Structure 1
Amino acid sequence: MLCLLLAGAAGGLGYLYYQEVQRGAADNGGSTAAPPASGKAKQATNSPPAKSPAPAAASVPDPIALEAKGYVIPHREILVSPQVSGRLLKVLFEEGQRVEQNQVLAEIETTEFAAEHQRALALLESARQRLRELEAGNRPEEIAQAEAELAEADAQLPQAEAEWKRNSELRQSRTISPLVFEQSEAAYLALKKKVERLQAAVTLMRKGPREERIAAARADVRQAEAELVRAQWRLDNCTVRAPIAGTILRKNAEEGNIVNPVAFNGSYSLCEMADLSDLEVDLSIQERDIARVFVGQACRVRAEAFPDRTYRGVVSRLMPIADRAKGAIPVRVQLTVPAEEEGVYLKPEMGAVVTFLAAPDGAERLR
Structure 2
Amino acid sequence: MDGQRKAAGELAFAHAGAAAWCCVCGGDMKRNAVIAGGGLMLVAIAVLSYWLLRGSRALVYSGTVETREIEVGSKVGGRVTDVAVEEGQMVKASATLVRFEADELKAQLAQSRASVDQAEADLAKMEHGNRPEEIAQAEATARVQQAAYEAAKNGPRTQELAQAQADFDAAQADAVNAEATFKRMAMLVRGETISRQQYDDALAKRDTTAQKAESARQRLKLLQAGTRKEDLDAAEQRYLQAKAAAVLAQRGFRKEDIQAARGRLAQARGHVEELQARLREAELTAPADGLIETVSVRSGDLVPAGRIVLTMLESSQLWVRIYIPETEMAKVKVGQQATVTVDSFSGRSFTGHVMQVNASSEFLPRNVQTRDDRQHQVFGAKVMIDNPDGVLKSGMAATVLLP
Instruction: State the partner residue of 2:6.
Output: none
The Cα of 1:224 is off from its aligned counterpart by 0.8
The Cα of 1:298 is off from its aligned counterpart by 4.9
**Matching of residue 150 in structure 1 with residue 131 in structure 2:** no
Judge conservation of contact 2:352–2:383 (CA < 8 Å) in 1: yes
| Partner residue of 2:311 out of 264, 268, 271 | 271
**Matching of residue 215 in structure 1 with residue 259 in structure 2:** yes
Instruction: State the partner residue of 1:318.
Output: 357
Question: Cα 1:225–1:30, aligned 2, differ >3 Å: closer, same or farther?
Answer: closer
Alignment of 1:124-273 (within 5 A): 124-163=116-155, 181=225, 184-262=228-306, 267-273=307-313
Alignment of 1:74-85 (within 5 A): 74=67, 76-85=68-77
Deviation by residue 1:87-123 (Cα, 9 ceiling, x = unmatched): 2222222333322222222222111211121111111
The Cα of 1:347 is off from its aligned counterpart by 1.5
Output the CA distance in 2 between the equivalents of 1:153 and 1:332.
87
Question: Cα 1:299–1:124, aligned 2, differ >3 Å: closer, same or farther?
Answer: closer
Judge conservation of contact 2:324–2:379 (CA < 8 Å) in 1: yes
Deviation by residue 1:303-359 (Cα, 9 ceiling, x = unmatched): 24454443344433322121235631112223233x33x1x3x311322233444xx
| Partner residue of 2:322 out of 274, 283, 293 | 283
Deviation by residue 1:149-195 (Cα, 9 ceiling, x = unmatched): 333343344443343899xxxxxxxxx99998585344334434433
The Cα of 1:208 is off from its aligned counterpart by 2.4
Instruction: State the partner residue of 1:72.
Output: 65
TM-score by length of 2: 0.60
Question: Cα 1:131–1:287, aligned 2, differ >3 Å: closer, same or farther?
Answer: same
TM-score by length of 1: 0.65
Question: Cα 1:196–1:244, aligned 2, differ >3 Å: closer, same or farther?
Answer: same
Task: Report which of the two has the higher share of helix.
Answer: 2
**Amino acid aligned to 1:303:** V
**Amino acid aligned to 1:200:** A
Judge conservation of contact 1:64–1:356 (CA < 8 Å) in 2: no
Percentage of matched positions with identical amino acids: 30
Question: Cα 1:30–1:197, aligned 2, differ >3 Å: closer, same or farther?
Answer: closer
Pick which of 132-141 and 224-233 moved more: 132-141
**Amino acid aligned to 2:274:** R
**Matching of residue 107 in structure 1 with residue 153 in structure 2:** no
SS class of match (1:274): strand
Output the CA distance in 2 between the equivalents of 1:143 and 1:299.
82
Instruction: State the partner residue of 1:328.
Output: 378
**Amino acid aligned to 1:336:** D
Judge conservation of contact 1:110–1:238 (CA < 8 Å) in 2: yes
Deviation by residue 1:200-237 (Cα, 9 ceiling, x = unmatched): 23222222222221221121111111111111222233
Deviation by residue 1:20-47 (Cα, 9 ceiling, x = unmatched): xxxxxxxxx999xxxxxxxxxxxxxxxx
**Matching of residue 351 in structure 1 with residue 397 in structure 2:** yes
SS class of match (2:87): coil
Deviation by residue 1:287-312 (Cα, 9 ceiling, x = unmatched): 34444544455544332445444334
The Cα of 1:146 is off from its aligned counterpart by 3.3
SS class of match (1:253): coil
Residues paired across the two proteins, number: 290
**Amino acid aligned to 1:69:** S
Output the CA distance in 2 between the equivalents of 1:309 and 1:294.
25
SS class of match (1:244): coil
The Cα of 1:124 is off from its aligned counterpart by 1.0
**Amino acid aligned to 2:258:** I
Output the CA distance in 1 between the equivalents of 2:151 and 2:338.
111
Question: Cα 1:178–1:125, aligned 2, differ >3 Å: closer, same or farther?
Answer: closer
Judge conservation of contact 2:323–2:380 (CA < 8 Å) in 1: yes
Gaps of 5+ in 2: 1-25, 29-33, 35-44, 159-219, 366-376
The Cα of 1:239 is off from its aligned counterpart by 1.9
**Amino acid aligned to 1:154:** Q
Judge conservation of contact 1:106–1:239 (CA < 8 Å) in 2: yes
Deviation by residue 1:53-104 (Cα, 9 ceiling, x = unmatched): xxxx9xx998553433211112x44333334312222222233332222222
The Cα of 1:274 is off from its aligned counterpart by 0.6
Question: Cα 1:163–1:350, aligned 2, differ >3 Å: closer, same or farther?
Answer: same
Output the CA distance in 1 between the equivalents of 2:354 and 2:131.
77
**Amino acid aligned to 1:272:** M
**Matching of residue 94 in structure 1 with residue 86 in structure 2:** yes
Judge conservation of contact 2:290–2:312 (CA < 8 Å) in 1: no
Output the CA distance in 2 between the equivalents of 1:124 and 1:145.
29
SS class of match (1:275): strand
Output the CA distance in 2 between the equivalents of 1:145 and 1:30.
136
Large movers: runs of 4+ above 6 Å? 176-180
Question: Cα 1:244–1:150, aligned 2, differ >3 Å: closer, same or farther?
Answer: same
Judge conservation of contact 2:155–2:226 (CA < 8 Å) in 1: no
